[in-house]
Amino acid sequence: MTVYRNYINGRWTEPRSGRYVDNVNPATGEVLGRAAVGTEEDVAEAVAAAKAAFARWRKVPAPRRAEILYRVGELLRERKEELARKMTQEMGKVLPEARGDVQEGIDMAYYMAGEGRRLLGYTTPAEMPDKFAMAVREPIGVVAAITPWNFPMAIPTWKIMPALVAGNTVVFKPATDTPWMAYELVRIFEEAGLPPGVLNLVYGPGETVGEALLRHPDVHLISFTGSVESGRHVNQVAGAQLKRVHLELGGKNAVIVMDDADLDLVEQAVTWSAFGTTGQRCTATSRLLVHEAVYDQVVERLAARAAKLRLGNGLDPQTDVGPLINGRALEKVAYYVDVGQEEGARLVVGGRPATEGELARGFFFQPTIFADVTPDMRIANEEIFGPVLAIIKVRSLEEAIAINNGVQYGLSSAIFTRDVRNAFVAMRDLATGICYVNHGTIGAEIHLPFGGMRATGNGHREAGLAALEVYTEWKAIYVDFSGRLQRAQIDEVKIEDIG
């Protein structure tokens, strides 16, 4: 059985608590390993190591830093299948999705390695003669990367790769449900030659390890992905200390289906977007806004499709939908199904835990669809984070857009239509950070900015060039080679005096 220890200053270390917790396969109940339970003292040691390493790492030329990221990408690529199978065991997603999760890590490693030869600043004309002006990027310092369990390779690499290539050092706190993937990722960084202290790993719950990172005076940036409630707390605690805070939070994502939509494509795409990863994505489709002219057809098609989805162990190639992550998640989904029924929504398919045969060993819930949902219902407003889809009837595109924009979240949205005008109106008016046309709400690519509006975040973005804005500061530099005092905005520049 594998034991996952903390990784601090280049060494795998026992937690100060001496305690470990089981890492359990959510499909089978099998214990996969044991993870350290970190403490405030472990965090203090990791931050001290990161702080000391920053003094040297920030001076390493960015192309050299990038070479290490490229090697990490190569190792991830070589071990993609092995890592994907381990991921499926640890958090339950079906194997093709786990492969995609690892691929995102590979893509991000290569992409950010390329930025090591850019990290572009800019030059600009100065106001005064014989004066040079430019702006350059500088690293911020020690970064705390606090990540969730649903994308245990992709999301850590979204944070760690840009942080490192920019010259920062990192203390990584993964979710308690996915210590194995964090262990494998950090091992690969170690093998790739990352110097001690540049990346540190501390396991443990948010209320101790996470809280210690938020409050430590030598942590300069908090990058957090999780719930809105937790994000608000992170912002309050870290923001009060004037730390930079980057938040990626929840979603209540809607797909609009117009009366001219390709319903075969809608059926395929919405099934994938709603029930892929068992609905445990911040970008999962949880609301479907369907034009009244095709409403009954869409409900019937999706219900029939969802009823045929096969639940099971994600390693089984016949499985369509894996388990929820743990018992708390199962209870939450069941609670919201009860809420939906009490509110008067019509349960079309699913609606209960799946406990037949081998499924009884894991945390399985039937793919669930509610019809005749109204925009004011809780199941149409609150993030469930499970395989539950709420279908709402609309009369027009304008009504659909208003409903989409009427929730606190603003992460992802989509529209299915053959009408170019409808598509462009939706692209203009849907108030979400990501918008798809004739596709579901999932499938973001790493070279574009990822993030949302309103309560989905605080304005920053993961991935793409936008990620570098999170992990760098701007420094303006002026070089006056005139040999005399020149006062910008005060001294008059006379053209006739310029030689």
Q: Residue 206 has what DSSP assignment?
A: I
| Residues forming beta bridges with residue 123, ordered by sequence position | 134
List the catalytic residue out of 184, 248, 383, 462.
Answer: 248
Residue 295's CB is within 10 A of a number of other CB atoms, namely: 20
Q: Tokens standing for 481?
A: 């080679």
CA dihedral over 316, 225, 56, 16, signed as positive or negative: negative
The gap from C-alpha 423 to its chain's centroid, in whole angstroms, comes to 26
Which residues pair with residue 138 across a beta bridge? Answer: 473
Contact of 140 with 168, CB cutoff 8 Å = yes
Q: How far from 286 is each of 25, 160, 232, 274, 275, CA to CA, in Å?
A: 26, 29, 23, 6, 9
What is the distance, to the nearest Å, from the Cα of residue 5 to the centroid of all Cα atoms in its chain? 24
How far apart CA 106 and CA 79 sit, in angstroms, is 10
Residue 278: phi, psi to the nearest 5?
Answer: 55, 30
Residue ranges with strand state E in 395-482: 409-410, 412-416, 434-437, 453-454, 472-480
- CA–CA distance, 322 with 473 (Å, rounded to integer): 42
Describe the strand order of the beta sheet including 221-225 as a list of residue ranges.
11-13, 6-8, 199-201, 169-173, 142-146, 221-225, 244-248
Residue 248 among the catalytic residues: yes
How many DSSP H helices and E strands does the chain contain? 14, 22
Question: Do 220 and 145 form a contact (C-beta atoms < 8 A)?
Answer: no
- Residues labelled catalytic: 248
